[in-house]
Structures are given as C-alpha cells and as structure tokens.
Amino acid sequence: MQKRMLGNLEVSALGFGCMGMSHGYGAINDKAEMIKILHAAVDRGVTLFDTAEVYGPYTNEELVGEAFAKKRDKVLIATKFGFDIKPGDPISGCDSSPKRIKQAVEGSLKRLKIDTIDLLYQHRVDPTVPIQEVAGTVRDLIQQGKVKHFGLSEASAQTVRKAHAVQPVTAVQNEYSIWWRRPEQELIPMLQELNIGLVAYSPLGRGYLTGKIDEKTEFAEKDLRKILPRFSPESIKANQVFVDLLSRIAAGINATPAQVALAWVLAQKPYISPIPGTTKMHRLLENLGALDLRLSAADLAELDRGASTLEAHGARYPERLEAMTNL
C-alpha cells in the first residue's frame, strides 16, 4: 500500500469512509458483512478509517470499535465531534463548547474501544464558539493522552489558520472531487504552506461519479441523497457530463469511471488522501485498483480541461445543512 503524509501522520494513500455502513444511505446493512469488508481493507493495507459520533448516531463508531478491537495496531481511527445530538434529529445544530467536546471524546473512546483517538476532527465549525477555544480544548485532550492529532472538517482557510496557531492541525477533511473543486481556491495552497494534509471525503461524489446513478434512480427513504439538490432528477441528468468525461478517459486505459475519479484526486497533491466508502466487497477492490492507475499527463490535462468548462448542477446540501459549512 502506498503511503502519504498528513502533516506528520503517515496514512495509507487511500483511506476508508465508514459512514455509509450504518448511516446516510438508507440501507440496513448486515454487521458481520460490514466487518468483513473492513477487515479486507486492513488486509490490503488501508490504515485510515473515518467515522463520527453523529453517524447513526453512535452506531457507526460501535461498528468500527467492534471491527478493530483485535486490529488496533494496524489502523488509524479518525472520528469527529461538533453536533448537538438530540433524539430524532441527530444534526439539530452545532455544539463545540468545551464541555460538549470532552463529553463527545469520552463517548467515542468507549464506543471505539480505544484509549486514544488517532485523529479528532471538529465536524463543523461552530459560529458560537471561537475556533481558538476549540483548538485549546483539543490541545488539552492531546496533553491528557486521549487524542493524538487534531483536524477540522469543512473549514475555511482562515479558520484553519486560527486553529493551527493554537494547536497544530494535522488534517482538514473537506469534500473534494472532480465535480467539487472549491478547496483549490484558498484551502489547498494554505494547507501546503502549513504542512497540513487534506482528507478528501465524497471523492466519488456520493456514488454519482461511478456512473451507476441516473435520473430514474430511486433512493431509499432515509438515503441522504433524497434531500440533496445535486441529486434531484434534473441535476442528475445535467451532471451526466462529468461521468461522460471520466468514462472517456476510463475507456482508453481499461479502468472504470470510479477509478479515474479517485486517481485524479490522488494525482492532485501528495498530501491528499481520499476516503471513499462502500458496503460492497467488489467496490472496495475496485476503489483500491485506482492506486495502480497511472493517469498520463495527457489524461490529466484532458480531465482538467474538460472539468474546467463544467459546473455541477444543484447545491451540495439543502440550505439548512449548507449553512453549517465554513467555506
């Protein structure tokens, strides 16, 4: 497995986003099968596994904790705090007060069956709590041995700078893919300047860039894509141009659109580690195959040239959730 550095933390070039195994996509997955897939990822060299207390809520951390109880020395576990979790509405608002952060960490440690969280992210920036106070609280947790590395998710370059001045930030986790390149404007140059890694979530566009979704696709009742503007039938049809672009390149190099999408992210910077998720063994193997894909300079130029003329149709999130991002 190829390795990459997120700040001073060495991780597998391709990580694994665990959320969809128990949250966000409607399906109730067999726990034993999910653990089998997680073990298969470890056996193939994946070290970075991403979860959060809000996924479920709580059930995804419990799954990850059970899966890796006997493989702790082979994995790096990242989790997140930052939401005010209430019954029936797990994302009812942000809460990064020091008391809530400490409470979240204690809960995560217990569910994950670990003594130390390898990488702890603030899930969303809380506008009511100064980021310096958040960073200071995490710094205290690091000094206590409960956390090793500090990260931020969906944070702006300015916010990252402020946090980094109090407690060095190891990684920022933001959405990044060929159809969402906003991080290139300010965030990625700043990350390079400060030696901070980028963990790219949804590098496959929540499954869209695989080419397996069209305007006739019906999402399950609790599938988050059912409420995302970018996944309305109109947007799905309009965004087919991204899949067509990936498919053209894939056809010439005996690859799949998903593999090209992941290889493109990996080719952008050496300090970027994408974390695609899956609930299917064959998709895990397909994703890992992207590591062996070498996009030529001509391929990358064609992808960049093509993508530069396109703009994804539909917002990433509904207004309420978009308001929680700090971009």
pLDDT value at residue 89: 63
Rounded distance between C-alpha atoms, residue 160 and residue 142, angstroms: 18
The total number of structural domains that make up the chain = 1
pLDDT value at residue 311: 94
What are 84-137's pLDDT values in tens digits? Answer: 998 766 667 899 999 999 999 999 999 999 999 999 999 999 999 999 999 999
pLDDT value at residue 86: 82
Query: What is the extent of the structural domain holding 138?
Result: 3-205+259-294
SS3 146: coil
pLDDT value at residue 90: 61
CB 177 within 8 A of CB 204: yes
What are 5-64's pLDDT values in tens digits? Answer: 999 999 999 999 999 999 999 888 999 999 999 999 999 999 999 999 999 999 999 999
Rounded distance between C-alpha atoms, residue 103 and residue 105, angstroms: 6
Rounded distance between C-alpha atoms, residue 153 and residue 263, angstroms: 22
- Answer whether residue 92 is part of any domain: yes
- Answer whether residue 164 is part of any domain: yes
Q: What is the mean pLDDT of residues 240-244?
A: 98
- Answer whether residue 67 is part of any domain: yes
- Answer whether residue 152 is part of any domain: yes
- Answer whether residue 165 is part of any domain: yes
Q: Which of 25, 55, 58, 271 is catalytic?
A: 55
- Which residues have C-beta within 8 Å of that of residue 260, sequence separation ≥ 6? 246, 249, 250, 253, 290, 293, 295, 303
| DSSP of 236-267 | HHHTHHHHHHHHHHHHHTT--HHHHHHHHHHH
Active site residue 55: yes
- Answer whether residue 215 is part of any domain: no
Q: How many other C-beta atoms lie within 10 A of the C-beta of residue 256? A: 21
**Over pLDDT 90: what percentage of the chain?**
92
What are 176-235's pLDDT values in tens digits? Answer: 999 999 999 999 999 999 999 999 999 999 999 999 999 999 999 889 999 999 999 999
Residue 138 amino acid letter: V
- Which residues have C-beta within 8 Å of that of residue 208, sequence separation ≥ 6? 179, 230, 231, 236, 239, 242, 243
We report the CATH number of the domain holding residue 28 as 3.20.20.100
- Answer whether residue 75 is part of any domain: yes
- Answer whether residue 254 is part of any domain: no
